[in-house]
């Protein structure tokens, strides 16, 4: 029996990141983007730019230099006017999965870091299966970034990259989020998986910076039952609480009133994150680690605009 809040070992293989039931739940899903995001590459995602796809977009009068193959000869026959058919250009979508790799994520049963990794892998597999590009970033781990992955073959690489994370980073989450906004070229679907337990007021600014670059940003705040309900999950008696990242901590005699104070502070922090996210266009979602992943993917992430 492990101590209160202690996490079980991290998954040792890629297979452990994706249960068959979860894989089955991913069938038919795709990454949702409320914005049409520009991309230098043609992809399967409809772009705001007119391009070369087969999907008709509009007509415009012919001008010298236009490609004669695009003249709509049926219109010319009926109206005796040369018009050019415009088609919707198709771009691929860049999905950025930003996983908090700080030491605070290695907590709870189930482990927050493991849960975040599983969600990221499921989203990555979904995106790669839909033909999008995927890029993974580790927050709090000195800017570790995966290669830009494409195609179904990239799923294995993404899984291995996630498995190799150590969850012992000591970085500044807000700074890493700002750095992330600059590191992503073009606009992308950015899904941040973090506990967001950062005491500073820098989090709202970081989220604002991230969203201001035109990214479609989701903040999945991953918390464990032990954090949400300490007494109910077995934390009692006298303890010295040690911060996972700083190593400091107070002496606490756990009582109902102490827990109430703690939960009030935690709720206030979550609400602050939620409000700040909404202000800057980031869509927040609180995820419990004991929540079934299938339900999360098929229901809450679709409702939250992460998947469709």
Partner 1 sequence: MTLIAPWLALGLLLALVPALLVLWILRLRRARIRVPAQWLWSDAREDLRAQVPFQRLRWSILLLLQLIALGLLLLAAARPRVVASLHSGGRTVLMIDTSASMHTRDASQGRRRFDAAREAVRGAIDRLHPGGLMDHGGGQTMLVTLGARPQIVQPFTSSRAVLLQALESIDVTDEPATLTPALDLAHAWAAVPDPDAGEAPAEGTTHLEVFSDGGLADLVDALDGLDAPLVLQHVGAEDTPNAAIARIGGTRDPADPAKLTPWVSVMHWAAQAASVKIRLVINGEPSSVRAIDLPAATEDGPGRVDVMFPAVRSAGRTALTAELVPGDALAEDDIARCIVPESGGARVAQMGKSAPLLRRALAALGLHAAGDESPDLVVAVSDTTAALPAVPSLSFGAPPVSAMVKPAATVPDTSIATSSHRHAVSRGSRLTGIRAAGAHVVQVDPGVRVLASSREGPLIVAWREQGVPRIHVGFEPSRSTWPQREDFITFLVDATAWLVGIDDEAGGHVAGDRIELALPAQTTSVDVQFNGDTIDTFSPADPSRAIWGPAPQAGVYAFHWASPDAQGVREAVVNMPVAVEGDTRRGAFTIDDPLLEARRASDRGVPLWPFAVIGAVLTLIAEWWIWVKRQ
Which residues in this chain contact partner 1 in the complex, by CB under 8 A?
1-6, 104-105, 107-108, 112, 195, 197, 199, 227, 234-235, 237-244, 246, 248-253, 255, 258, 261-262, 265-266, 269
Q: Given its phi and psi angles, is residue 124 left (phi above 0), alpha (psi -120 to 50 degrees) or beta?
A: alpha
Which residue lies nearer to partner 1 by CB, 124 or 169? 169
Which residue lies nearer to partner 1 by CB, 15 or 243? 243
Which residue lies nearer to partner 1 by CB, 67 or 238? 238
Rounded Cα distance between 47 and 200, Å, is 38
Which residue lies nearer to partner 1 by CB, 47 or 194? 194
CB 4 to partner 1: min, Å: 6
Cα 169 from chain centre: 19
Which residue lies nearer to partner 1 by CB, 81 or 260? 260
CB 190 to partner 1: min, Å: 23
Which residue lies nearer to partner 1 by CB, 53 or 233? 233
CB 210 to partner 1: min, Å: 22
CB 279 to partner 1: min, Å: 23
CB 270 to partner 1: min, Å: 11
CB 175 to partner 1: min, Å: 17
Contact indicator for 196, 173 with CB cutoff of 8 Å: yes
Nearest to 225 by CA among 88, 115, 130, 75: 115
Contact indicator for 163, 99 with CB cutoff of 8 Å: no
- In the numeric block, the tokens 């009133």 are attached to 257
Which residue lies nearer to partner 1 by CB, 6 or 271? 6
Rounded Cα distance between 131 and 140, Å, is 29
CB 102 to partner 1: min, Å: 9
CB 238 to partner 1: min, Å: 5
Q: What are phi and psi of 85, to 5 degrees?
A: -85, 130
Q: Which two tokens stand for residue 198?
A: 């950062």
Cα 188 from chain centre: 11
Rounded Cα distance between 306 and 190, Å, is 10
CB 227 to partner 1: min, Å: 6
Which residue lies nearer to partner 1 by CB, 156 or 249? 249
Contact indicator for 29, 35 with CB cutoff of 8 Å: no
Rounded Cα distance between 279 and 274, Å, is 9
CA dihedral 167, 173, 179, 182 (to 10 degrees): 100
Rounded Cα distance between 113 and 291, Å, is 14
Contact indicator for 283, 304 with CB cutoff of 8 Å: yes
Which residue lies nearer to partner 1 by CB, 32 or 259? 259
């Amino acid at each position: 029996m492990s101590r209160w809040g202690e996490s079980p070992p991290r998954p040792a293989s890629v297979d452990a990141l994706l249960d068959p039931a979860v894989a089955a739940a991913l069938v038919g899903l795709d990454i949702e983007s409320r914005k049409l995001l520009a991309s230098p590459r043609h992809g399967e995602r409809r772009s705001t730019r007119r391009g070369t796809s087969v999907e008709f977009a509009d007509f415009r009068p012919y001008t010298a230099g236009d490609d004669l193959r695009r003249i709509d000869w049926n219109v010319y026959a009926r109206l005796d006017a040369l018009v050019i058919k415009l088609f919707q250009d198709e771009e691929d979508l860049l999905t950025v999965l930003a996983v908090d790799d700080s030491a605070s994520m290695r907590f709870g049963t189930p482990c927050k870091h493991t849960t975040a990794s599983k969600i990221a892998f499921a989203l990555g597999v979904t995106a790669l299966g839909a033909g999008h590009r995927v890029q993974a970033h580790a927050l709090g781990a000195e800017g570790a970034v995966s290669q830009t992955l494409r195609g179904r073959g990239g799923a294995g690489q993404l899984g291995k990259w996630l498995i190799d994370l150590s969850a012992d980073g000591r970085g500044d989450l807000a700074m890493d989020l700002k750095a992330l906004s600059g590191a992503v070229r073009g606009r992308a679907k950015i899904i941040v998986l973090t506990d967001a337990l950062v005491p500073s007021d820098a989090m709202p600014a970081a989220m604002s910076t991230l969203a201001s670059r035109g990214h479609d940003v989701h903040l999945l705040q991953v918390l464990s039952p032990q954090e949400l309900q300490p007494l109910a999950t077995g934390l009692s008696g006298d303890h010295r609480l040690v911060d996972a990242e700083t190593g400091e901590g107070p002496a606490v005699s756990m009582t109902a009133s102490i827990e109430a104070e703690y939960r009030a502070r935690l709720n206030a922090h979550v609400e602050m994150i939620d409000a700040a996210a909404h202000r800057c266009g980031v869509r927040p979602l609180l995820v419990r680690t004991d929540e079934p992943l299938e339900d999360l993917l098929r229901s809450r992430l679709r409702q939250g605009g992460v998947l469709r």
